[in-house]
Chain A
Amino acid sequence: MHFGDYCKSKAGTVLLNAAALLVLSVFLYLVNNSGTTIFLIDAVWGLVLFLFLCAEYFSRKKYFSEIMTVLGGLPQRYLIAEVMKPGYRLEDKLYWEILRKSNKSVIEEIHKLECSQKEYKEYIESWIHEVKTPITAIRLICGNHKEEFTKNILFELDGIENEVEKVLYYVRMEQVYQDYLIHPVHLREVVLSAIRAEKRHFIQCRMQIDLDMPELSVPTDEKWAEFIIKQIFSNSMKYRRETGARIKIYTENREKQKSLVIEDNGCGISEEEIGRIFEKGFTGKNGRLKNNNATGIGLYICRRLCEKLRMGIFCESEAGSYTRIILTFPDTDYNRF
């Protein structure tokens, strides 16, 4: 709040006073007062007015800066009416009342949205758990009737499962509460488990796998990490080369970090696009050419999950030759949840 702005807003008062002063001065002059007397009266009037405006300016400035400070420190700014003082002036009180009512309706609206979103998420989660039952049943039926066509069913079932899992993790990554547990995990086991889960696709794609990693303990959540690794595998398979496709999996120690590198020799990502592959909904040239169903959600979920697990996910690639996805794990502090 500047003094100049304040004066401008008080222009009415100043003009009214100036007009009254002019009328008074003319009147005093007409009833034979001396010029000195009139000037003195005018000066005193002006001074009193000026002092009044100054006092009011400072009191207002203090009042508003207090509110601004409170507002700045408030994470939910729509709660301002609950924490600010109503002020002593009638206008302040009225504005406060208006603000409070408007805030209240916003809060109610937000609450309603939160509730419906929560219900929606809970429904999706329970749906996912429901759909796992028939998937399990189909797996068992296929296990009991091993034939060529049940192999094909299992293959398609893997696809369904992968999509269902994606939805599950998409719902989970938005959630405030934690349903993961960061603890020391044997990374090699997680990688093997991810390979096992995707084996039918790997075999189908004639993908060769070079697994060259020692036992390595990293702080993460194995379920989430496995999901992330599976998404990376799934991309490697989608964008593989026709013959001689291979994935190399190895570990590296870079700058106090343990990292897992998953490198394929697929079609790679062009330089303009590489920075955007973790964005939501980004499909890129490869997504449009090679795979019409690319949704651009897989790697986005990976990035968000990595953020939660305090892992890093990076990509290095050269179009037409390789794509290297690097997952980094913090080296220490297992115990910070």
Chain B
Amino acid sequence: MGKRGKLLIVEDEETIRKELESYLLASGYEVSSLFDFSNVSADILAENPDLVLLDVNLPGVDGLDICGQIRKSSQTPIIFVTGKNTSADELSCILSGGDDYISKPYELPVLMARVAAVLRRTLGKQDADSTKLEYKGVLLDIASAQISKGRQVRELTKNELKILHCLYQHPGEIVPRMDLVDYLWDNEVFIDDNTLSVNVTRIRKKLNEIGASDFIETKRGLGYRV
């Protein structure tokens, strides 16, 4: 996976900074952080990242002011991260020129989705969410909910589509069943473990029909892999 964008973390809490850094690195972003908060806006401008994750409560300075200063000279995308979570706080973040807002403690998938969304808007990136995905000759068409190999085409149900979409996002990796269920719940498919097995069986049947048997591997006790 190529670099998806350059992120700058402005966060004074060391553990969060480190963990966030490694999580974002693992997700394929280029990541750097600030350690000194005496001159944040200048540092951000010098770094010139694609996106800034800016903590609102920094020692001695207010993230909102920093954002205001940056906005005087640059349109660098900024997502605020804050411990406060009222609509009024949210409003002041957006009014000071922030692109988005997320409150602690955040769910990682939510943070990732927001980061991806802001980058998509600002960088015009489409690769992460393209509507057609291809792996090992099997084409998944998300827009029309179809799976095809060569000229063979099968329709997919909403659940089947989402399961395949998740597997396609991790080609060659084992996706644990729990992660898959987690992903599905984040995407409006509320199914349990058993239903997941049933759905995967149905997908296998369709894959067989289009001549792509063994496309999904089952790793007993671990999960699935395409």
A contact residues around B13 at 8 Å (CB): 133, 136-137
Q: Which of A143, A203, A211 contacts B23 (CB 8 A)?
A: A143
Q: Are B185 and A140 in contact (CB under 8 A)?
A: no
Given that A139-B108, A202-B185 are contacting pairs, would A129 and B83 also be in contact in the complex, using a CB cutoff of 8 Å? yes
Interface, chain B (partner A; CB < 8 A): 13, 15-16, 19-20, 22-23, 26, 57, 83-88, 91, 104-108, 110, 176, 178-179, 181-182, 185-186, 188, 190, 192-193
Interface residue A135 (Cβ < 8 Å from any Cβ of B): yes
Q: Are B178 and A144 in contact (CB under 8 A)?
A: no
Q: Interface size on A (CB < 8 Å)?
A: 36
A-B residue pairs, 4 tightest by C-beta: A140-B19, A181-B87, A129-B83, A209-B190
A127 to B55, CA, bound (A): 18
Quote the shortest CB–CB distance from A286 to chain B (angstroms).
Answer: 25
Interface residue A223 (Cβ < 8 Å from any Cβ of B): yes
Q: Which of A143, A200, A208, A222 has the most CB of B within 10 A?
A: A143
Q: Are A203 and B87 in contact (CB under 8 A)?
A: no
Q: Are B185 and A203 in contact (CB under 8 A)?
A: yes
16 other A-B residue contacts (CB within 8 Å) besides A139-B107, A179-B88, A209-B190? A129-B83, A129-B84, A133-B83, A135-B105, A136-B104, A140-B20, A140-B108, A143-B108, A144-B19, A144-B22, A179-B86, A179-B87, A195-B185, A196-B107, A200-B182, A223-B85
Given that A196-B110, A202-B185 are contacting pairs, would A223 and B105 also be in contact in the complex, using a CB cutoff of 8 Å? no
Given that A133-B16, A140-B19, A197-B107 are contacting pairs, would A192 and B188 also be in contact in the complex, using a CB cutoff of 8 Å? yes
Interface, chain A (partner B; CB < 8 A): 129-130, 132-137, 139-141, 143-144, 146, 151, 161, 178-181, 183, 192, 195-197, 199-200, 202-203, 206, 208-209, 211, 221-223
Q: Are B105 and A136 in contact (CB under 8 A)?
A: yes
Quote the shortest CB–CB distance from A231 to chain B (angstroms).
Answer: 16
Q: Which of B104, B181, B182 contacts A133 (CB 8 A)?
A: B104
Q: Would you mind naming 24 contact pairs between A and B with Cβ atoms under 8 Å apart? A: A132-B83, A132-B104, A133-B13, A133-B83, A135-B104, A135-B105, A136-B13, A139-B108, A140-B20, A140-B23, A143-B108, A144-B23, A146-B179, A180-B88, A195-B185, A196-B110, A197-B107, A199-B185, A199-B186, A202-B190, A203-B185, A203-B193, A211-B190, A223-B87
Q: Which of B23, B57, B188, B190 has the most CB of A within 10 A?
A: B190
- Taking CB as reference atom, which chain A residue is nearest B106? A136
Quote the shortest CB–CB distance from B29 to chain A (angstroms).
Answer: 14
Given that A136-B16, A140-B23, A143-B19 are contacting pairs, would A199 and B88 also be in contact in the complex, using a CB cutoff of 8 Å? no
- Taking CB as reference atom, which chain A residue is nearest B191? A208
Q: Are B108 and A151 in contact (CB under 8 A)?
A: no
- The prevalent SS among residues of A at the interface is helix
Quote the shortest CB–CB distance from A321 to chain B (angstroms).
Answer: 22
A200 to B178, CA, bound (A): 10
Quote the shortest CB–CB distance from A220 to chain B (angstroms).
Answer: 10
Quote the shortest CB–CB distance from A121 to chain B (angstroms).
Answer: 14
Q: Are B105 and A161 in contact (CB under 8 A)?
A: yes
A140 to B20, CA, bound (A): 6
B contact residues around A139 at 8 Å (CB): 105-108
B contact residues around A129 at 8 Å (CB): 57, 83-84
A contact residues around B84 at 8 Å (CB): 129
Q: Which of B87, B106, B179 contacts A222 (CB 8 A)?
A: B87
Q: Are B186 and A196 in contact (CB under 8 A)?
A: yes
- Taking CB as reference atom, which chain A residue is nearest B16? A137
Q: Are B88 and A181 in contact (CB under 8 A)?
A: yes
Quote the shortest CB–CB distance from A258 to chain B (angstroms).
Answer: 20
Quote the shortest CB–CB distance from A247 to chain B (angstroms).
Answer: 9
A contact residues around B19 at 8 Å (CB): 137, 140-141, 143-144
A contact residues around B110 at 8 Å (CB): 196
A contact residues around B16 at 8 Å (CB): 133, 136-137, 140
B contact residues around A143 at 8 Å (CB): 19, 23, 108
A contact residues around B185 at 8 Å (CB): 195-196, 199, 202-203
Q: Are A195 and B105 in contact (CB under 8 A)?
A: no
A contact residues around B107 at 8 Å (CB): 139, 196-197
- Taking CB as reference atom, which chain B residue is nearest A196? B186
Quote the shortest CB–CB distance from A33 to chain B (angstroms).
Answer: 90
A contact residues around B192 at 8 Å (CB): 203, 206, 208
Q: Are B86 and A180 in contact (CB under 8 A)?
A: yes
